A and B are shown apart, each in its own frame.
Chain A
Amino acid sequence: MTRKLVVIGAGMASGRVLEHLAEAAPDAFDITLFNAEPRGNYNRIMLSPVLSGEKSYAEIVTHDDAWYAARGIETRFGEHVTKIDRARRVVVTAKGETGYDRLLIATGSAPFIIPVQGRELAGVVTYRDLDDTDAMIAAAKPGAKAVVVGGGLLGLEAAAGLAMRGMEVTVIHLMGHLMERQLDPAAGYLLQKALEAKGIRIHCKGATKAILGHDRVEAVLLEDGTTYGADLVVMAVGIRPETRLATDAGLEVGRGITVNDALVTSDPAILAVGECVEHDRQLFGLVAPLYDQAKVVAATLLGQEAAFRPVQTATKLKVTGCDLFSAGDFAEGEGREDIVFRDPARGIYKRLVIRDDRLIGTVMYGDTADGAWFFGLIKDGTDIAPMRETLIFGPAHQGGATPDPMAAVAALPPEAEICGCNGVCKGKIVAAVQGGAVTLDAVRAETKASSSCGTCTGLVERVMAATLGDAFAVPAKQGMCKCTDLSHEEVRRLIKAQGLKSIPAVMQELGWSTAGGCHSCRPALNYYLIADWPLEYRDDRQSRFVNERNHANIQKDGTYSVVPRMWGGVTTPTELRAIADAADKYGVPMVKVTGGQRIDLLGVKKEDLPAMWADLNAAGMVSGHAYSKGLRTVKTCVGSEFCRFGTQDSTGLGIRLEKLLWGSWTPHKVKLGVSGCPRNCAEATVKDVGIVCVDSGFQISVAGAAGMEVKETEFLAATPSVDEACEITAAFIQLYREQARYLDRPYRWVAKVGLDRVKAQVVEDRANRAALCARFELSQSVYRKDPWAEHAKPEERPMWAALADLSLEAAE
């Protein structure tokens, strides 16, 4: 007797099961197929081309009505199964009951909707099935705004499709880089760049706070206060297995419906397949393992032995022409080594992860031609030791002798391009060298080779060496750190010239030799990006030294010192009481007056910092930035307000300058002094900027030092106007911010560029001074704020304490 098979869900997995059954044993079962969607099996992966308009629905249908009819499959589309009665072996719908001998659950997955306010507004859609796609197409008017929440594969496909339909698209992604499950930060950066080039705005590290609108969606509000206008919001943050029917029926359900190797659930009469199942604690989303499951389900139904064994899957993704490949395990970990290859000019990034002479993972962007070969090495566990040196160049470079870079350059024909930026070929460089250009600078001047992006410098040097033989001495490199041969100055120039706006961008485009930089380049890059792109770049806290990350100075015993700001060195009895109270409350072992006219509370425990800051904030005080490469203090004397010798209000000017400059980040610390008369009680003439008041106005001098070196300031300008004194000071600080290398104090920077050039730009060229002030003010619109207040918020505080306390358990 033919047995009855009921299938719930017409997705890609169950479609494949039906195909196998129809092929192997067309008469084994009477099949009834239920589907909540009012249609049959179609290729869900191809919804993206439907969204973008490249394909129609008809083109992605895998099984049409005729197919089901020819195979005698009864289709019940648009009919929800509401219950499974296992005792009586029937499924229940609004139209009645249907009996089964074997049941196959293929309910797939449901989109996860983040529980924010406004999620039920009209215009908020998910991206899962054809109805969602149709809803998006209906809303996609050219020029209308769409916000996609979620920068994973699905979200990016939605974004690309909507952009192709002419919408203005913004992607909000919670993590630091796109597709963080499949890509590492470097590849994520390249993907972001490619999407941005297509006009899609990407907002990483963005947490959605609420969806705003009255009747329908109008905007999306993020936790950081950013708002994006939206006529359509697509939720694509993830999916979860659709298990409600199985749960209600009392089947064993974990994250998905639990199945054994034969894809049978805890009820022997019921099987499950696809995204709704959990096998060996694993869930499945990619189509390859689902097709493997379908094969096993068909075999099991036909009484054959079969076992599902998930194999490693590679992800080769085509997001609107962005070429991506990832496979295996590419997280950093114990005993793992990286081989990294970057070609900035062609936007290529390849990374191989190796453990015990075996390739265990790879991420590739831009050139994925060798992906299948690498994937093969991963699956086979091939010993790669013999080809390790050239492994990253792929199969084409294996099997030969170890390549010698010099020989490779010598073998290049004269017309081979060496410098891509300036189109300089090898022959031209050889001619220049033979004509007497024997240094890199001379070749640069003569041919322009390596004078733009600089990444071909090594190649140019090899051409020179091959031409000159032993006469060529490779110049000693003065790279900013071991991660790059480029100097600080070159990096700063290229950040501006190439519009690099993130640390991964700099590392990729300038060919960093390490995956994540080091402790000396990361803080420098973070500073350069803050200084050059104040509005676009977001401070990377993890690239900061401990003091700036924790907004307090670490001491030798791991405690911190806390210095509240006292504008111009002036305080009040109320502030002093609050400081004294804080010192008592948090058991501060030492209270000391600093050289910059502040009060230092030493020996504070890290976990007490936020609460202490909140107390000081409540008394009206903010961070004194005693820890920062930024404006520290403006030291003043009492001036004309009280002093019988004072010529001007030096205290007032000091306070005004400090309120102008505070919060700004600079290449190194900056200290100011303002003295009310030439007696100079504020010791202004050993500061980075020192102002000495005289009867006729203000004398501004700069580039002093009183540390490892002691140096008197040099005269910059004199002015009768207090406003102009402030302008000149701000312009000087901004020029220093824009030009100095990280960790150079102003006196070192001025010594390098010359005081005359500083004077010309800050004092004499008034238009330039105004422009410098305007750029400073723009930056200050972001950074003139109290970091303590931010970190003292209640929700931030747990991050300052230990993650866990095992001291009791460990003592057992």
Chain B
Amino acid sequence: MNWIDIGALDDIPVQGARLVKTALGCVAVFRSADDAVFALDDRCPHKGGPLSEGIVHGTHVTCPLHNWVFDLNTGLAQGADEGGVATHPVRVQGGRVLLDAARLQRRSAA
């Protein structure tokens, strides 16, 4: 694991998200109503909508462009829609949000 401190938990709105820029596109870091955090690629597989701008409900987010719903745990589209986005390990320690960037780096090496 390569944990990178990306900021304070309080910098992410409750039931909202913030972006982390990487060389391989943006990662959306979500914060649920209970302060759990999730990291998903910020690109809806349907038409590329920014998931970070979607409405967060429970452990789901709805894409702002065409209302596809994704499970924040698995990155999988819900209901009749098929597809998914990559998820990345993320955790909170002492009020700081840590993102595992290992996978992003591996993909860049490949």
A interface residues, Cβ below 8 angstroms from B: 176, 180, 184-185, 330-336, 338, 514-519, 522-523, 541-546, 549-550, 554, 556-558, 798-799, 802-812
Contact = CB atoms under 8 A, between A and B. Distances in A.
Contact of A332 (B6, B34, B104, B105): B34
Given A331-B35, A554-B64, A554-B65, A514 B57 contact: yes
B20 A805 contact: yes
Nearest to B50: A558
B23 A332 contact: no
A521 to B, nearest CB: 9
Interface string B25-56: 01001001111101000000001111001111
Contact of B57 (A516, A549, A554): A516
20 contacts: A331-B34, A332-B59, A333-B73, A335-B73, A514-B57, A515-B33, A516-B33, A516-B58, A519-B67, A522-B55, A541-B16, A542-B13, A544-B55, A799-B18, A802-B20, A802-B26, A803-B11, A803-B19, A804-B99, A810-B22
A517 B34 contact: no
Given A522-B55, A549-B53, A810 B101 contact: yes
Contacts of A546: 53-54, 64
Interface string B68-103: 010001000000000000000000000001010100
Contact of A519 (B20, B24, B54): B54
Contact of A807 (B11, B21, B29): B21
B21 A802 contact: yes
Contacts of A806: 4, 6, 20-23, 99, 101, 104
Interface in B1-21: 4, 6-7, 11-16, 18-21
A137 B23 CA distance: 61
Contact of B64 (A516, A522, A545, A809): A545
Contacts of A519: 54-55, 57, 62, 67, 69
B90 to A, nearest CB: 10
Which 5 A/B pairs are nearest by Cβ-Cβ distance? A519-B62, A803-B18, A804-B6, A546-B64, A542-B15
A176 B7 CA distance: 21
Contacts of A515: 33, 58
B13 A805 contact: no
B21 A804 contact: yes
Interface of B: 4, 6-7, 11-16, 18-24, 26, 29, 32-36, 38, 47-50, 53-60, 62, 64-65, 67, 69, 73, 97, 99, 101, 104-105, 108
A333 to B, nearest CB: 5
Nearest to B106: A810
A70 to B, nearest CB: 46
Given A335-B73, A811-B108, A802 B18 contact: yes
A558 B26 CA distance: 12
Given A519-B57, A806-B4, A809-B4, A184 B33 contact: yes
Contacts of A549: 53
Nearest to B90: A334
Contact of A805 (B21, B32, B62, B105): B21
A336 B48 CA distance: 28
The residue in A184, A558, A805, A810 that gathers the most chain B C-beta atoms within 10 A of its C-beta is A810
Nearest to B42: A558
Contacts of A803: 6-7, 11-12, 18-20, 29, 97
Contacts of B50: 554, 558
Contacts of B20: 802-806
Nearest to A515: B58
A180 B35 CA distance: 10
Nearest to A803: B18
A554 B66 CA distance: 12
Contacts of A798: 11
A523 B62 CA distance: 12
Contacts of A557: 48
A169 to B, nearest CB: 26
Given A334-B73, A802-B21, A804-B20, 6 more contacts: A333-B36, A514-B57, A515-B33, A544-B55, A546-B53, A806-B101
Contact of B36 (A332, A541, A805): A332
A397 to B, nearest CB: 26
A336 B38 CA distance: 13
Contacts of A523: 55
A809 B24 CA distance: 11
Contacts of A804: 4, 6-7, 20-21, 99
Contacts of A544: 55
Given A176-B14, A519-B62, A810 B57 contact: no
A165 B2 CA distance: 55
B95 to A, nearest CB: 12
A603 to B, nearest CB: 15
A754 to B, nearest CB: 32
A708 B16 CA distance: 32
Given A331-B35, A518-B62, A810 B12 contact: no
Nearest to A550: B53
Contacts of B55: 519, 522-523, 542-545
A538 B59 CA distance: 24
Given A332-B32, A332-B59, A333-B36, A807 B22 contact: yes
A184 B97 CA distance: 20
A643 B20 CA distance: 55
The residue in A184, A334, A550, A554 that gathers the most chain B C-beta atoms within 10 A of its C-beta is A334
B85 to A, nearest CB: 15
Contacts of A338: 58
A556 B48 CA distance: 8
B6 A810 contact: no
Given A185-B33, A554-B65, A806-B101, A542 B6 contact: no
Contact of B13 (A330, A541, A810, A812): A541
A802 B19 contact: yes
A518 B57 contact: yes
B82 to A, nearest CB: 19
B80 to A, nearest CB: 14
A807 B104 CA distance: 10
A330 B7 contact: no
A549 B59 CA distance: 20
Nearest to A547: B64
Nearest to A174: B10
A176 B35 CA distance: 12
Contacts of A558: 48-50, 53
B28 to A, nearest CB: 10
B67 to A, nearest CB: 7
A328 to B, nearest CB: 13
A330 B54 CA distance: 24
A515 B35 CA distance: 14
B62 A556 contact: no
Nearest to B27: A806
A542 B58 CA distance: 12
Given A335-B73, A519-B55, A523-B55, A812 B105 contact: yes
Given A542-B55, A554-B53, A331 B36 contact: yes
A330 B7 CA distance: 23
A549 B56 CA distance: 13
Nearest to A186: B33
Nearest to B56: A542
A543 B32 CA distance: 13
Contacts of B105: 809-810, 812
Contacts of A810: 22-24, 101, 104-105, 108
Nearest to A523: B55
Nearest to A514: B58
A798 B7 CA distance: 12
B57 A522 contact: yes
Given A518-B62, A803-B19, A807-B23, A332 B57 contact: no
Nearest to B102: A810
A417 B73 CA distance: 42
A558 B51 CA distance: 10
A809 B104 CA distance: 10
